[in-house]
Structure 1
Amino acid sequence: MPDQPVDPHIAGLLQMIADSGYPPMHEGTPEDARKAFRAMTSDLVTDETRVPVASVEERRVPSGDGEQDARVYRPEGEGPFPTVLYLHGGGFVIGDLDTHDQTCRRIAKDCAAVVVAVDYRLAPEHPFPAAVEDCVAAARWAVDHLGELGGTDVLGVGGDSAGGNLAAVVSQTVRGLAAQLLFYPATDALGDYPSRHENAEGYFLELATMEWFFAAYAGDADLGDGPDPRHSPIQGELAGQPPAVVAVAGYDPLRDEGIAYAEALRAAGTEVELLRFDSLIHGFADMVFSPGADEAVGTTLARFSALLHSDRKDLS
């Protein structure tokens, strides 16, 4: 367990959740879970708290099965800018463009980058590998449209939780990326790690909910039939990956597999910066009401921005 106690502001949130009497997410339906997630994220944003950017544009981009909704965020200032493809979290079951609007705005602002967020298909209506196919298709589209997006030849990819999983898969699949940003990524679906048990209950994301998410994502597929890097990127080809910033939280069931993935990337020769925020929980990127979480997000994005704006010529 982490040496530090839970951040006091986040501890208050956890207590409020515990006192609410609402059943855990995994005891409801996907529709209930989606509504609850929106209530905790986009529904709380006001004009005063919305992160400012120069413009936001709704787009349609290719998916694995036609087209999907996307949203393009442009930062203030004069370009050209790097471009970042951002893939939202939510266990492959919940989350959308609105729930992660603030995160994408923050990336555009802090990293001086054009951010493209995609609304990939969700399970259980669209099980594995639909989300992978959609995100890879969007990344390949972005590669071909960098001139009209950021205007440079730099493309990074980022995501949180399930989106971190998808960002890692995209990094292994689409060559030529400049950097990857992985907030508390899910990297090893079939693995077992101490943090899954240490943080199984009481810290926002619970182990039972993780298992519920992944069962919905798996659908009828037999994901136990050998390693598959499309759902467990730690099983993939890690040599030649773009530089990575991996941020993990101390009180998160996914903590140890995020650390394991960072270490595996580093062992394969990839430049990795692993950031550990021991007082925080899963989902802290959207918990900037806490000064500690806000600082952690700022630190993480500063490291990612440095990769996007570096002058390196030998990007993977």
Structure 2
Amino acid sequence: MPLDRMLRNLITWQRADGPPVPVRAVGVEQARARYLANTVVPPRAGAGPHAAVTAVDRSVDTPDGATFRCRVYTPETDEGRVVVTYLHGGGWVLGDIDSHDRACRSIAVSLGAVVVSADYRRAPEFPYPTPLLDAVAAARWTARRFPGRDHVLAGDSAGASLSVGVALHARDTGELGLAAQLLLYPPVDPRLLFAAASDHAQGYLLTVDDMAYHYDLYVPDARQRSDPAVDLLNADLRNLPPTVVATAEFDPLHDEGVELADKLAVAGVPVRHVPGPGLVHGYFLMQDIVPAAAVRSERVLEELAGVLRPAPGPGRAAAARYAGAARGE
């Protein structure tokens, strides 16, 4: 399928003054400001279903004595059954709970669920494993405050990578009792072999060089890049919770996302792969400006809802099976 027309126009407009400046040439602070400018959508007073979502900021304590923010979204349609821990994208370096505010509101409305968005500490100030440990702390915080609900881990891009890392930790420790995962265009191959060989390695908003730079900041110690929580394609993926993997056609990370979905299936994990024809990396944050992104995002969330409401039993049955397997039962 050809690149979506609106995305093609957006890319052409961004190149009007010359090729985009690589993230490594911009610097972290300027890149963070640019990312926020491109992702934060000012709310329209009283407009749309997002207006029916309340948001409250809370604090999460970490084992090392630090704290970070989380934002708790509660829709008017909260059914009291599902809670989502959401881990934002941005290459472990960019992004925060403000950049993903609209995305979390859309999840809350679509699922009728509480969403807890974690403002985990970012690289380079806090390289691996701190963002992952904060993600685990956020999931624990969610589980304590919303007991009895089907607990979903979700994330886009770097946040999706962290989500898998949290799921691996939960499996190995027997905690959290997760019902499902939602992984939006996850980076799972720190060697970038799939991305470098992609037909879309550059020219479609995210480039392989950008990803290489983010890995350099996130995991500066090359020895740690073989850790299962980083090198996810070579991790033991057995007994992870049912998973929805969403990919984008014009994304350097497309092929490794497909490979992850295949490996999850081989490992016996119930997995649904939702392709993103004509779309680019980051489309989940473009729902307000790209109709095709909104349509595909709705489809992704419908697939997640299907995982949580399998016939004949509810999502917690899958969670119980997963938790039992994690304990070796």
- Unmatched segments (≥5 aa) in structure 1: none
Report the counterpart of residue 286 of structure 1 in structure 2: 285
Matched letter for residue 209 of structure 1: D
The answer as to 2:100 corresponding to 1:104 is: no
TM-score by length of 1: 0.92
- How far 1:58 sits from its partner (Å)? 0.5
Report the counterpart of residue 173 of structure 1 in structure 2: 169
Aligned residues: 307
What aligned pairs does 1:134-153 form with structure 2 within 5 A after superposition? 134-147=134-147, 152-153=148-149
Paired with 1:307 and 1:58, the residues of 2 have a C-alpha distance of 29
Paired with 1:159 and 1:207, the residues of 2 have a C-alpha distance of 20
SS at match of 1:219: coil
SS at match of 2:248: strand
- How far 1:172 sits from its partner (Å)? 1.4
Report the counterpart of residue 326 of structure 2 in structure 1: none
SS at match of 1:95: coil
- How far 1:64 sits from its partner (Å)? 4.8
Contact 2:86 2:118 in 1 (8 A): yes
Give the 3 Å change call, closer, same or farther, for CA 200–64 of structure 1 in structure 2: farther
Identity of aligned residues (%): 35
Matched letter for residue 26 of structure 2: G
What aligned pairs does 1:1-316 form with structure 2 within 5 A after superposition? 4-21=1-18, 23-42=21-40, 45-47=43-45, 48=47, 51-65=50-64, 66-77=66-77, 79-147=79-147, 152-175=148-171, 176-193=177-194, 196-220=197-221, 222-224=223-225, 227-288=226-287, 289-310=289-310, 311-312=314-315, 313-315=317-319, 316=322
CA offsets, 1:41-92, max 9 Å, x none?
A: 1155544478233311110013353221000000113531310000000001
Contact 1:196 1:252 in 2 (8 A): no
Paired with 2:49 and 2:214, the residues of 1 have a C-alpha distance of 29
Paired with 2:33 and 2:48, the residues of 1 have a C-alpha distance of 21
SS at match of 1:249: coil
Give the 3 Å change call, closer, same or farther, for CA 136–297 of structure 1 in structure 2: same
SS at match of 1:157: strand
SS at match of 1:89: coil
Question: Whose helix proportion is higher, 1 or 2?
Answer: 2
TM-score by length of 2: 0.88
Paired with 1:290 and 1:79, the residues of 2 have a C-alpha distance of 29
- How far 1:197 sits from its partner (Å)? 3.6
CA offsets, 1:214-247, max 9 Å, x none?
A: 11111245335xx211212222221111101100
Contact 1:51 1:105 in 2 (8 A): yes
Query: How well do the aligned residues superpose, as a CA RMSD in angstroms?
Result: 1.8
SS at match of 2:300: helix
Contact 1:165 1:232 in 2 (8 A): no
